[in-house]
């Protein structure tokens, strides 16, 4: 078991696992955000539940923070190792001839998403901590929608959110489907179920690519919806 | 055909190398890439200069000796061919061709375009074999029935010639495709299954010790492999490794 945490295969497995966890979180975050477009009351209700529920705050939130931090730290560790593996660069390297831009630049798309997380925490998480723990305001289940909408008054902030979600899309377009390969399960899907050879693989591949496009576009839609509603 | 060649020249493993330009004329489209280099070397020798050193052996695309990063791609722009099988008809009159050695920390340059690929040998030596007991009780391999699909996958993995194009193509200089092909060719057969756990752990461990990078699943290795070794082998190796690690 010790070797499982040391080797290149294990590191990639851990990277894939944490990535899949973050994909699940994204789906959950998107679903909650979407309610802000459909019903402000529902958004307030769900946000209040997430912000006050003991299980979410004491267990899921720390697990999520660990997942995010682990994914980024491991990403940088792997990137440093990979750069060291080729001490002298090629004079000419034709990477686009055999691989996608997304797959070659995960570190850059990831870095943009990391920078975005900084902004996002500054916008929502820090004020939430101040509201709850420093200023000790009484619980107000109706404040969340107003706080959300107020953030999307600024065109600069809205623009930064849109750009960040585009980079999230690029990151997911390679990362989501690639995680199955790192976990060694791609082969199982490629073989497909008995009688459905190949179909399971295509289904999983399509699902990952669809998710990578739809979810960031959905986040962009929500940001623009509130910006234009404010205008 | 008249060509401008930009070739990496390096005296030995300890000196710094640099790109040197050569103009070469009278190249026929039916020449192989290595024959074109032979012509260049003949000219250099006639002028009293040091010829360009490069690896080659069978010149039939099966030994894995020839390497060369040509215009940014291992074995050049053609698919499913080694450098020795690349023909000059792929290029046009007046083209500039950049020729470099395969680059990886685990493949140090010995001289000019020749790199030391013994890291691959050490990965093979780590457990790239089956321990056959030759006490007289061995069973004829042909008497063991094997599913056709598995036999085909194993054979396809075994076609890896160990040229190192996968490492050269990978932006991380990862040797996962090579190692996974060697793991897969045995893991898929009943003879190899017995030692599958020990094999995959030992070979991945050696691969990491050699200083190769990690796999980012870009797929460049599969596309540049002259034998078309599939990425499926990497998924299989990952699965085999994780299974063996938690036992």
Task: Give the residue extent of every domain in chain A.
Answer: 2-82+118-230
Query: What is the per-residue pLDDT for A193?
Result: 47
B216 vs A contacts (CB less than 8 Å): 82, 103-104, 106, 178
**Contact present, A227 and A155 (Cβ < 8 Å):** yes
β B3-9/B96-100 pair status: parallel
Query: What is the per-residue pLDDT for A141?
Result: 86
The model's confidence at residue A1, banded by pLDDT at 50, 70 and 90, is: very low
Lowest-pLDDT choice from A2-16, A52-66, A121-135, A154-168:
A2-16
Average pLDDT, chain A: 90
Query: What is the per-residue pLDDT for A200?
Result: 60
Kindly provide the ipTM of the predicted complex, given to two decimals. Answer: 0.92
Largest CA distance in chain B: 64
Residue A189 has pLDDT above 70, yes or no: no
Q: CA distances (Å), B154 to each of B7, B189, B190, B229, in order?
A: 38, 7, 11, 11
Q: CA distances (Å), A117 to each of A65, A125, A146, A163, A198, in order?
A: 11, 10, 21, 13, 38
Do the chains contact at A85 and B105, CB–CB below 8 Å? yes
Lowest-pLDDT choice from B31-40, B143-152, B153-162:
B143-152
Query: What is the per-residue pLDDT for A187?
Result: 55
Rounded distance, CA B98 to CA B100, Å? 7
Query: What is the per-residue pLDDT for B139?
Result: 78
Lowest-pLDDT choice from A44-58, A176-190, B228-242:
A176-190
Do the chains contact at B72 and A97, CB–CB below 8 Å? yes
Do the chains contact at B69 and A90, CB–CB below 8 Å? yes
Q: Searching chain A, which residue's CA lies closest to the CA of residue B224?
A: A98
Can you count the helices (H) and strands (E) in chain A? 11, 0
**Contact present, B231 and B179 (Cβ < 8 Å):** no
Side-chain-side CA neighbours of A74 within 13 Å: the count stands at 23
A102 vs B contacts (CB less than 8 Å): none
Which residue of B169, B171, B245 is in closest CB contact with A10? B245
Other C-beta atoms closer than 10 Å to the C-beta of B106 total 25
**Contact present, B102 and B74 (Cβ < 8 Å):** yes
Do the chains contact at A87 and B217, CB–CB below 8 Å? no
Residue A2 has pLDDT above 50, yes or no: no
**Contact present, B185 and B192 (Cβ < 8 Å):** yes
Minimal C-alpha gap between B139 and chain A (Å): 30
Query: What is the per-residue pLDDT for B140?
Result: 81
The model's confidence at residue B137, banded by pLDDT at 50, 70 and 90, is: confident
B204 vs A contacts (CB less than 8 Å): 7-9
Q: Per residue in A28-63, is it b (16+ CB within 10 Å) or e — as a string?
A: eebeebbbbeeebeebbebbbebbeeeeeeeeeeee
Pick the more confident residue, A5 or B118: B118
B72 vs A contacts (CB less than 8 Å): 90, 92-95, 97
Express each pLDDT in A193-206 by its tens digit.
Answer: 444 445 566 778 88
Pick the more confident residue, A4 or A201: A201
% chain B with pLDDT above 70: 100
Mutation target vs A (from B78, B157, B171, B180; most A CBs, 10 A cutoff) = B171
Rounded distance, CA B227 to CA A50, Å? 54
Mutation target vs A (from B18, B70, B223, B238; most A CBs, 10 A cutoff) = B238
Residue B182 has pLDDT above 90, yes or no: yes
Q: Searching chain A, which residue's CA lies closest to the CA of residue B19?
A: A91
Residue A159 has pLDDT above 60, yes or no: yes
Q: Searching chain B, which residue's CA lies closest to the CA of residue A77?
A: B214
Which residue of B105, B211, B239 is in closest CB contact with A187? B239
Structure tokens at A44: 């307030």
Mutation target vs B (from A98, A108, A174; most B CBs, 10 A cutoff) = A98
For residue B61, give the 3-state DSSP assignment: coil
Q: Searching chain A, which residue's CA lies closest to the CA of residue B235?
A: A184
Residues 6+ apart with CB under 8 A from A47: A32, A144, A145
Do the chains contact at B238 and A91, CB–CB below 8 Å? no
Rounded distance, CA B25 to CA B35, Å? 13
Rounded distance, CA A175 to CA A208, Å? 9
Other C-beta atoms closer than 10 Å to the C-beta of A165 total 21
Do the chains contact at A4 and B245, CB–CB below 8 Å? yes
Residue whose C-alpha is closest to residue A77's, from A11, A142, A146: A11
The model's confidence at residue A191, banded by pLDDT at 50, 70 and 90, is: low
Which domains are present in chain B?
A: 3-111 (3.10.20.30), 117-245 (1.10.1060.10)
Q: Searching chain B, which residue's CA lies closest to the CA of residue A78?
A: B214
Which residue of A84, A97, A182 is in closest CB contact with B238? A182
Do the chains contact at B104 and A1, CB–CB below 8 Å? no
Average pLDDT over residues A173-198: 71
Lowest-pLDDT choice from A12-16, A57-61, A197-201, B207-211:
A197-201
The model's confidence at residue A166, banded by pLDDT at 50, 70 and 90, is: very high
Query: What is the per-residue pLDDT for B247?
Result: 81
Task: Count chain A–chain B contacts defined by CB atoms under 8 A.
Answer: 150
**Contact present, B213 and B169 (Cβ < 8 Å):** no
Average pLDDT, chain B: 95
Residue B84 has pLDDT above 70, yes or no: yes
Query: What is the per-residue pLDDT for B138?
Result: 75
Express each pLDDT in B209-241 by its tens digit.
Answer: 999 999 999 999 999 999 999 998 999 999 999
């Amino acid at each position: 078991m010790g070797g499982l945490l040391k080797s290149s295969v294990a590191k990639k497995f851990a990277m894939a696992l944490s990535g899949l966890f973050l994909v699940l979180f994204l789906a959950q975050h998107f679903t909650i955000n979407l309610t802000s477009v459909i019903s402000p009351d529902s958004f307030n209700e769900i946000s209040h539940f997430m912000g006050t529920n003991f299980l979410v705050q004491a267990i899921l939130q720390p697990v999520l923070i660990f997942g995010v931090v682990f994914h980024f730290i491991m990403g940088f560790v792997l990137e440093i190792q990979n750069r060291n593996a080729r001490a002298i660069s090629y004079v000419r390297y034709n990477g686009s001839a055999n691989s996608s831009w997304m797959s070659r630049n995960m570190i850059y798309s990831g870095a943009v998403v990391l920078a975005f997380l900084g902004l996002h925490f500054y916008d929502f998480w820090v004020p939430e901590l101040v509201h709850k723990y420093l200023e000790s305001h009484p619980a107000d289940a109706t404040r969340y929608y107003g706080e959300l909408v107020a953030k999307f008054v600024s065109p600069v902030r809205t623009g930064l959110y849109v750009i960040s979600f585009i980079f999230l899309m690029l990151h997911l377009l390679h990362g989501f489907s690639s995680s199955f390969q790192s976990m060694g399960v791609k082969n199982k899907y490629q073989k497909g179920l008995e009688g459905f050879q190949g179909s399971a693989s295509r289904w999983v591949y399509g699902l990952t690519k669809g998710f990578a496009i739809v979810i960031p576009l959905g986040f962009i839609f929500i940001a623009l919806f509130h910006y234009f509603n404010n205008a | 055909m008249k060509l401008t060649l930009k070739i990496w020249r390096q005296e030995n493993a300890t000196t710094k190398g640099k790109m040197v330009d050569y103009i070469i004329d009278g190249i026929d489209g039916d020449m192989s890439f290595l024959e074109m280099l032979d012509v260049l070397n003949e000219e250099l020798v006639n002028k009293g200069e040091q010829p360009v050193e490069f690896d080659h052996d069978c010149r039939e695309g099966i030994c894995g000796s020839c390497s060369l990063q040509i215009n940014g791609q291992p074995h050049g722009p053609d698919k499913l061919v080694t450098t020795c099988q690349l023909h000059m008809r792929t290029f046009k009159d007046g083209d500039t061709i950049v020729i470099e050695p395969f680059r990886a920390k685990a493949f140090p340059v010995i001289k000019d375009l020749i790199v030391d690929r013994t890291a691959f040998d050490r990965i093979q030596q780590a457990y790239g074999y089956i321990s056959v007991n030759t006490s007289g009780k061995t069973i004829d391999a042909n008497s063991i029935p094997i599913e056709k699909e598995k036999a085909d996958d194993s054979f396809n993995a075994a076609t890896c010639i160990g040229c190192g194009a996968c490492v050269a193509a990978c932006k991380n200089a990862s040797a996962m495709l090579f190692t996974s092909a060697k793991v897969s060719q045995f893991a898929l057969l009943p003879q190899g299954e017995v030692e599958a756990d020990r094999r995959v752990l030992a070979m991945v461990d050696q691969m990491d010790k050699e200083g190769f990078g990690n796999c980012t699943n870009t797929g460049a290795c599969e596309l540049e492999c002259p034998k078309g070794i599939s990425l499926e082998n990497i998924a299989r190796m990952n699965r085999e490794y994780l299974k063996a690690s938690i036992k």
